[in-house]
Amino acid sequence: MMRAGAAGSTEPRRRGRTPGMTISAVIITRNEEQSIGRCLGAIADWIDEIIVVDSGSTDRTQAIVESFPMARFIAAGWDGYGANKNRGNEAARGDYILSLDADEEVSPELRAAILAVRPQLDGTTAFAMNRLARYGERWIRHSGWYPDWQLRLFPRAGSRWNAALVHERVELAPGVRRERLSGHLLHHAYATVSEHIAKANAYSSLRARELAGGRWLLLRGVWKAKVRFLKHYLVGRGFLDGYPGLMIAIVSAFTVFAAHAKAREMATRR
């Protein structure tokens, strides 16, 4: 096997000095000019390769991505979160995939944890990282949003995202064990309530397509919305997160109800 960076090599060029398997970051985007520079800037000086799968951005996303020499910008259609992430994994050449969203940022502590385990990577272990979300100016440490362990560093061979329309999950090859890394994956979730509501509207439409038809969809939606509010605000102690905690509970409840209402609307049109 040729070393990374050798002439004619099909492997990503190793940028850091830490030995071990190569790591490709895979990110899907659409109009992420506000976030993508921060995301890439946190990994550009130590990751081996960056793959960005973009689904029709009309802003400066492509120009920002292409300003990073190790990044590859791939224009693609939109086939769903899991499908587009799989497209990026297939284009990657690293031994491991670091899967990120454009509004996420690897913290210095998490970076150190990844570099510390890299010499021991052998394709038999995948790693989860604790995601810490920011809402407005506040980091959310309750509301059912934290701790939020996400499996994001895994062997490329044999791993694949499932076809769920929302909340997709990566499926690992048999026998791959899971471990946890220290440090935070910083999630710059919502700068404003308007952004949260817009995302909730989009997610509820996708969720409506997954819901089975049947009777009492609206009543089920009302009941589940109430449960969701209580889950975030009381059980998840969202009241400790102040105003953002209240908004998380309200908008999450709205998302659940809207999904059921949209599912009922779809059923009546068939």
**How far apart are alpha carbons 100 and 133 in whole angstroms?**
14
**How far apart are alpha carbons 74 and 87 in whole angstroms?**
9
**How far apart are alpha carbons 59 and 17 in whole angstroms?**
35
How many C-beta atoms surround the C-beta of residue 131 within 10 A?
20
Q: What does the pLDDT look like over 92-102, one tens digit per residue?
A: 999 999 999 99
Q: Please give the average per-residue pLDDT across 51-76, as a whole number.
A: 97
How many C-beta atoms surround the C-beta of residue 180 within 10 A?
12
Contact 254, 248 (CB under 8 A): no
Answer with the residue of higher pLDDT: 266 or 250. Answer: 250
The band of 167, judged by pLDDT with boundaries at 50, 70 and 90, is: confident
Contact 248, 238 (CB under 8 A): yes
Q: Please give the average per-residue pLDDT across 222-236, as a whole number.
A: 98
Domains of the chain with CATH codes: 23-190 (3.90.550.10), 193-269 (no CATH)
Q: What is the dihedral of CA 81, 140, 256, 209, to 10 degrees?
A: 0
Strands 138-140 vs 160-161: parallel, antiparallel or unpaired? unpaired
Tokens linked to 123 = 């394709």
Which three-class secondary structure state does DSSP give residue 72?
A: strand
User: Is 0.75 topped by the overall pTM?
Assistant: yes
Q: Please give the average per-residue pLDDT across 202-212, as a whole number.
A: 90
Statement: residue 224 has pLDDT above 50: yes
pLDDT score, position 158: 96
Q: Please give the average per-residue pLDDT across 106-133, as a whole number.
A: 97
Tokens linked to 35 = 């976030």
